[in-house]
Amino acid sequence: MPVIKILNEMSKEKNIQAQVDADKKKESTSVLEKIRRRTGLLVGIVGLALVIFILESLLGSGASIFGGNELSIVGSIHGKNIDRNDFLAKVENQLNIIRQQKQANDIDDATRAQVLDYVWQQYVSDMVIKPQYAKVGITVGEDEVYERVVAHPVPTISQRLTDQKTGKIYEQLAAPDGSLDPIKFRQFVQNATGDQEMFVKQMEEDVKNMRYAEKYAALIRKGLYTTNAEAKEGFKAQNNKVNFTYVIKRFDSVSDSTVKVTDSDIQKFYSDHSYLFINTETTRKIEYVSFDVLPSPSDVEAIAKDAQRAADDFKVKTIKEDSSFISQESENGMVNIQDMNKKSMIVRDSAIFTSPAGTVFGPYNEGAYFKIYKLQAVNSIADSARVRHILIGTVDPQTQQPKRSMAQAKKTADSLLVLIKEKRVTFDTLVKTISEDGGSKTNGGDYGWFDENKGFVQPFKDAGLMGTKGNISVVQTQFGYHIIEVLDVSKTRHNSYKVAQIFKLIAPSDETNQNIFAQANQFAGENNTGELFDKAVDAKKLTKRIGDNIKESDRQLPGLDGAKEMIKWVYTAKKGDVSIFTFSDKHVVAKISGIKNKGVLPLEDVMDEVKTLAIKDKKAQMFLTEFNTKAGGSKNVNDIATKLGLEAKKQENLPLASHNVEGLGHDDILMGTANGTKAGATSKAIEGDNGVFVLSVSSIAETPVPADLKMQKMQMDQATGGRADYEVFNALKEIANIEDHKSRVE
């Protein structure tokens, strides 16, 4: 293990290794446990970030690899099948690591999906990327790893040693300024054993992979450069401007319906231009209808009755009983009790401002819920207040570990309050020496003036806004117990209304859900072919939705959360198959309407597009003939325009690098022709992106090419280098012929 090996050698040479006592070892173990809990779902994912980023373009392919038992493989790379059992064994190893980290056996779907992605990326890295390192002779030495892990840790190392809750380096590894202390970290690494050593090894491996990727990317970029000739042409394209006149007969000037193309025309165009219809990855298309599960009128009536029953019971509950009653009656056990003023009041009945405490309002149908409100209290509070406090917390602010119980915190706070009131100790002294709120220590526990909209917890705000100047009290919050002194309150006051709320979700009943499922199931059963599905949708005037470009690796579809099982079906069914699927709020009947496999798409799958292009091609031939017969001998654009009944247009001071022509739009062919035509010359009739045109260049305003082209070369090198990673790894993807079917094992 290079990092530990180097550290041990340094220790022998310099005799600087510290003897770590039992407490330090215990402390280091605590650090490791926190690291393992908070550094994400999977050890190694963060460290492989750069490699995964580079590999991202490689992971989109999903064509079928049928042949043999397709269920025994999860994909292929370079024609080599990835065995299902081997893949699942690696997945299970990673899941076991997570189970140990979380000290739990249950793995949720999101975590499992991340693990599957991670294991698949490892295969791609091992079989596509890493062989390239060996071919070009890239190595990463132990010294490089040590430099980036320990001597000068790269950002990913610091991230792994950061408490995700606080955003700070763990206290046991932190320097006084909060950064990673190199000495503490070296000691931690050098004394790592067991799980700690495995953790360090993983960091080392991650950094090594990153370094390989960095070197490979740098090597690619260094192999690309801009020649003097390219720099000159690039400068001219950016700085030279062309003036020309052109005449164009646009394709959209003639309706497609007036141009007839035969089946042979379409077939010939498709055969001659098959490169236009290459699908780089397998995708599928579905059409579906949704049977939404909505509450029926009888459902709403039943919920309204239940809400009225809850409102009646709410009236006789005491303030002490309210919280437990709200938890019992409200959706998901949510307890919502808020302080409101006249501006923020959400109860629709203005009588709440004059009603006595205990009055219940509602139930009101407010869309998704029936809501019931109870006015618990009316308090006169200051518009603003200023307090200072001492916090006796239940959690250690440095380690975030339990420190004392609430009862212990209260006992300590009460004792300190006695000392303060007896003037045996000052408030300022306790803030500096006892308070566990680090944010307030710098100003004596004083957070300044605040009002009811401040983001403090409610009991803290109440102590100030409902208190009087000079009052000192002990107040409980979820953080522990606060000793709060009211420094000042505003002279102006207003009423605050404490309002408790009960939410009754307006949801469909099981009976309603079953009825709607029965309707969907009947529709699916009676219309179980593509043809019957289409006829029924039209006959019943149902809204048909489309899901296109569905990849096998997809897990969600627009408007259909949790569509994993549906996507699995999409990739096992045949075109025209129909099936029903149940979601949380709807039942969906879907039909496979299209399958686009990787490679050149069949004519039937691209018929509409091919026909449109064939019509455009026929128009082009017609227009070219018209140009040549009516004005073939003319070199004057204005004369050509007159003969064809068109308008000649001028374009002035257009940069040669431009892609757009004013009034015409994007037309690379026209601009390319303008670039390649000499001043004073006229082009022949040419098929462009928007129509058939002839242009005449009147002049080119040239900017002298500087003798020193370093800046131009640097700009072009940067542009080329920016595309290097993507284009190189996209090429590796094509060579590797990656087939990703890991969704089969989800």
Asked if residues 656 and 669 have their Cβ atoms less than 8 Å apart, the reply is no
Sign of the CA dihedral with 339 first, then 343, 345, and 351 last: positive
Single out the residue of 138, 112, 161, 115 nearest to residue 209, CA to CA.
Answer: 138
Distance, in Å, from the CA atom of 530 to the CA atom of 392, rounded to the nearest integer, reads 69
CATH number attached to the domain at 384-491: 3.10.50.40
Those residues whose C-beta lies under 8 Å from the C-beta of residue 387, and which sit 6 or more positions away, are: 446, 447, 460, 463, 464, 467, 484, 485, 486, 487
Q: Is 646 left (phi over 0), alpha (psi -120 to 50) or beta?
A: beta
Those residues whose C-beta lies under 8 Å from the C-beta of residue 358, and which sit 6 or more positions away, are: 315, 374, 375, 376
Asked if residues 207 and 148 have their Cβ atoms less than 8 Å apart, the reply is yes
Place of tokens 């529709």: 523
Those residues whose C-beta lies under 8 Å from the C-beta of residue 594, and which sit 6 or more positions away, are: 284, 285, 548, 575, 605
Residue 599, SS3 per DSSP: strand
Single out the residue of 610, 744, 746, 616 nearest to residue 65, CA to CA.
Answer: 744
End-to-end Cα, the chain, rounded Å = 35
**One-letter amino acid for residue 561 of the chain:** D
pLDDT at 433: 87
Single out the residue of 289, 238, 743 nearest to residue 547, CA to CA.
Answer: 289
Distance, in Å, from the CA atom of 376 to the CA atom of 434, rounded to the nearest integer, reads 36
Domain ranges of the chain: 2-214, 241-278+605-701, 283-293+509-596, 297-381, 384-491
H helix intervals, 422-529 = 427-433, 458-465, 510-526
Q: Chain-centre distance of CA 227, in angstroms?
A: 40
Distance, in Å, from the CA atom of 661 to the CA atom of 663, rounded to the nearest integer, reads 6
List, run by run, the mean pLDDT of 10-residue segments along the chain (746 residues).
49 43 46 45 42 43 41 86 90 79 71 86 88 91 90 85 75 79 85 78 86 88 89 91 95 94 95 93 94 96 97 94 95 90 90 95 95 94 91 81 88 92 89 81 80 85 90 91 92 93 96 96 96 96 94 86 89 94 95 92 92 96 94 89 94 91 91 93 95 95 91 88 81 85 78
pTM, to two decimals: 0.61
Residue 697, SS3 per DSSP: strand
Asked if residues 252 and 689 have their Cβ atoms less than 8 Å apart, the reply is no
Whole-number CA gyration radius for the chain? 37
Beta-bridge partners for 587: 291, 582
pLDDT at 70: 58
Residue 51, CA distances (Å) to 118, 129, 207, 214, 613 in order: 11, 9, 10, 9, 41
pLDDT at 191: 83
pLDDT at 20: 38
Which token pair is 253? 């000037």
